[in-house]
Structure 1
């Protein structure tokens, strides 16, 4: 049964957003105002964080975009002096946002709609606190205690980002603007990587910001393969992180390119897709190739055959052009998969298993404590699943799986029940990020890299925001493909009972005609 394009739901959502005392428009809390202005603010449908005299307000959306800028434009190894690994300016923004979210939650001003991401973040943070307590229960040495403290600060900040996006985005238009900003900043990081690869300039070496210092030497341009091909990291902390992050953002970038208006906007968005897609191989990373392969495969599941064909042909042409311009790079990447028996990085990962199981058996349920499995003291683990197993035990691994699984199913729910094709396609584009990120986490210690973690938490929040502003519910019927739809197929299970009845009726008719003949 087909619904009309969700006009009723959108009108109800608009009515809720127009309410002055509750709702998503009331998210941004007033913190600094004159007493007179404070009285007015109580009835203001869009209170702000800070309104300097004679200037525009600084609202939550501005802070979220500032987080993206700090995350992607500043090299990952530049930190606030004295704070160490958690001193990235973007982490400080996350701490600010979790504080603002808590203030407004205490005031009863969160959006009234159901928000599964709140429960997910509460459960995830609770498990981290249990692991934190479990670590201190075994009387941590100083270096492990510092690692546990850094882990908790970082995770609290990232939870703040996810909650701010999930509850602070006021409308679908604002969510689209925020995700386009994510794509834009990612393409800037990709452009920095291209400049590094072509040896034109390494911009990260020239960035100097007062108050920030290098936590360690900038990674620079590396080399891999028989031809010593350059592998780049852009502004990320490592080559693997660079490739994986761009692989996660690519489906979102393609979504906004597909649904862009004609003209300059469409050209710019496809240019960003080109920058991101062409930069992924420059990391020369197995993790990045596996991540983008899974993400694009899951996107292709919902596309009609014509769209799959168009994307496949474009990919083949782009790959051929890349091979002509950068001879040998694709061969080096191919060797990463065909020469695994002689690859020391693969062999080291495989040999870690026995030692990991031995350590895990000592504390199987709650682990050794979050943030305490340090490479200098234990082992360098290129596998986040192993790391979570040792640090958090069975409970930690369960929390990690739930962290990736819940947003995936929320995004899939939007894909199945969204009011229009664009909404359903965006739901799928956000959903595929989670299994792709989970796969990547099995190939490197992903939660040790702030840019990766920041992007994943942003997507978790974006899924929650989309689920809320589109008023998605499991009780809503699945949507069928309309005649003009070009990007999303009818779900296999949509209107399943009616389709089975029709098929059964057709079989009976054929049997009846056969007997009559």
Structure 2
């Protein structure tokens, strides 16, 4: 995954490495409309999935040598990704061992390839993005790509102008409808270049903490700030305009992570900034804030909430039949069995209890890497980035309970990119000079406990410097 020149840990440039391909992947996922797939292939593969598979091949080849600068060895994120993909392969083998209808078998094949691609992205980023400078490069590319998608969505919402109609690239074809604008409560509901307004809102929400991080870093450590404040504003506005409960919930979760980690003065400014943003949105788009509020206050009578409650009943009939490995990834077709709109529930149905446990473990392992890097490093940039990554990963982990995350390519691709970046950040901290401090310091031996232990063991005597100690009630052996 590395080119001729290894990126150094302090910000040296590299001609071509894992970060370069990760940037291309992030831009491909957000700039190219989600409905476009590669022509001439028997299976519908998006350019993002193709790049993800390529990253997996390059990672595998780079692991065979030791001259390309790719990291090797254990890492919590890498281990979690490996276990997750093993559970997916086990489920696929279990499901295809027996009979599957043709439509479900095709869906299982397509889903397996998609999952393999995003897992390859996560592992390749964990091992192939080396140093804080290269991590910054990937994260900034993610912000730029998400901002472009958000800008397209804002135009869809405000002016009914859909730029996706003009993004048909050579070598690609449309897979289904190219309409990216829905409606809710007399508002246009944009999707940008993603596949659905919910996915659009969640991707914007999980990128908001990154834009805020680089805007604040510019204030604290020097550098450009205006561009990141502009990206932050576009992403925040687009999250609101998605009219999605998942996006609003994601923004709230991110704030819960980030605001307590701020300095007291900055924390007050952040709270005032959030209040000012809500007032501005209320003035700019009358009725928008009230509509978003009603999504939560009227949830008991909301049709989508009722659909999710019925989904639990439908899933309850499927789970006992395939408890451990599930019925097969991708085989629970929404058009055939109904929408679940809950990734955890869908994973339990399609991948079983083992798959669900490893999906949760994947999120937790990524957050562990982010927080462990924050605790172990003395660099304020890494400490801030650690809590930022944890906030970003918390958005899809919570939103997975409100929509089918893995069913949407952009949200899934960004989630696994963030998981890989969390692993790469932890590797960067582990490689810092002087090593890393232990997570828990050894407990101090209290004098009272030490005296009780000596009293319990009894006094010791020593008859010589090299002779073993004996208690008074033990006689030394005397030869007969």
Q: What TM-score range do you get, normalising by the shorter chain?
A: 0.7 to 0.9
- Sort the Cα spacing of 1:187 and 1:310 in 2 relative to 1 into closer, same or farther, 3 A: same
Could you tell me how far 1:117 is from its partner in structure 2?
A: 2.4
- Sort the Cα spacing of 1:476 and 1:364 in 2 relative to 1 into closer, same or farther, 3 A: same
CA distance in 2, matches of 1:358, 1:153: 28
Q: 1:290 aligns with which of 249, 267, 274?
A: 249
Q: 2:203 aligns with which of 245, 262, 277?
A: 245
Do structure 1's residue 476 and structure 2's residue 437 form an aligned pair? yes
**Secondary structure in structure 2 of the residue aligned to 1:198:** helix
Q: Name whichever of 267-276 and 409-418 sits farther off.
A: 409-418
Q: Deviations over 1:234-292 (max 9, x none)?
A: 11100000000110111111111100168882111111111111111110011110111
CA distance in 1, matches of 2:356, 2:72: 31
Could you tell me how far 1:45 is from its partner in structure 2?
A: 4.9
CA distance in 2, matches of 1:353, 1:131: 21
Could you tell me how far 1:376 is from its partner in structure 2?
A: 2.6
Could you tell me how far 1:79 is from its partner in structure 2?
A: 0.9
CA distance in 1, matches of 2:360, 2:94: 20
Could you tell me how far 1:377 is from its partner in structure 2?
A: 2.7
Q: Match of 1:28?
A: 2
Conserved 8 A contact 2:72-2:127? no
CA distance in 2, matches of 1:378, 1:130: 23
Q: Deviations over 1:212-251 (max 9, x none)?
A: 11111123322111xx111111111000000001101111
Q: Match of 2:114?
A: 154
Conserved 8 A contact 1:67-1:93? yes
Do structure 1's residue 406 and structure 2's residue 365 form an aligned pair? yes
Q: Match of 1:280?
A: 239
**Secondary structure in structure 2 of the residue aligned to 1:333:** helix
Conserved 8 A contact 2:180-2:195? no
CA distance in 1, matches of 2:269, 2:442: 29
Structure 1 stretches lacking a partner, 5+ long? 1-26, 30-43, 48-55, 479-493, 499-517
Do structure 1's residue 135 and structure 2's residue 98 form an aligned pair? no
- Sort the Cα spacing of 1:362 and 1:233 in 2 relative to 1 into closer, same or farther, 3 A: same
Q: Show the 5 A alignment for 1:251-270.
A: 251-260=209-218, 265-270=224-229
Structure 2 stretches lacking a partner, 5+ long? 8-13, 445-480
Q: Match of 1:18?
A: none
Do structure 1's residue 338 and structure 2's residue 297 form an aligned pair? yes
Conserved 8 A contact 2:38-2:47? yes
Do structure 1's residue 457 and structure 2's residue 416 form an aligned pair? yes
Do structure 1's residue 123 and structure 2's residue 83 form an aligned pair? yes
CA distance in 2, matches of 1:366, 1:318: 46
**Secondary structure in structure 2 of the residue aligned to 1:219:** coil
**TM-score normalized with structure 2 length:** 0.85
Q: Deviations over 1:176-203 (max 9, x none)?
A: 1211111111111111111111116210
CA distance in 2, matches of 1:429, 1:96: 28
Q: How much is the aligned-residue C-alpha RMSD, in angstroms?
A: 2.4
Q: Match of 2:179?
A: 219
Larger radius of gyration: 2
The count of corresponding residues between Structure 1 and Structure 2 is 434
- Sort the Cα spacing of 1:472 and 1:290 in 2 relative to 1 into closer, same or farther, 3 A: farther
**Secondary structure in structure 2 of the residue aligned to 1:427:** helix
Q: Deviations over 1:6-26 (max 9, x none)?
A: xxxxxxxxxxxxxxxxxxxxx
**Secondary structure in structure 2 of the residue aligned to 1:234:** coil
**TM-score normalized with structure 1 length:** 0.79
Q: Match of 1:514?
A: none
CA distance in 2, matches of 1:178, 1:204: 24
Do structure 1's residue 329 and structure 2's residue 288 form an aligned pair? yes
Could you tell me how far 1:372 is from its partner in structure 2?
A: 1.1
Q: Name whichever of 260-269 and 232-241 sits farther off.
A: 260-269
Could you tell me how far 1:111 is from its partner in structure 2?
A: 1.7
Do structure 1's residue 77 and structure 2's residue 38 form an aligned pair? no
Q: Show the 5 A alignment for 1:95-244.
A: 95-108=53-66, 110-112=70-72, 114-199=74-159, 201-225=161-185, 228-244=186-202
Could you tell me how far 1:58 is from its partner in structure 2?
A: 5.0
Conserved 8 A contact 1:84-1:215? no
CA distance in 1, matches of 2:40, 2:251: 37
CA distance in 2, matches of 1:160, 1:89: 15
Could you tell me how far 1:495 is from its partner in structure 2?
A: 8.8
Could you tell me how far 1:399 is from its partner in structure 2?
A: 1.2
Conserved 8 A contact 1:94-1:160? yes
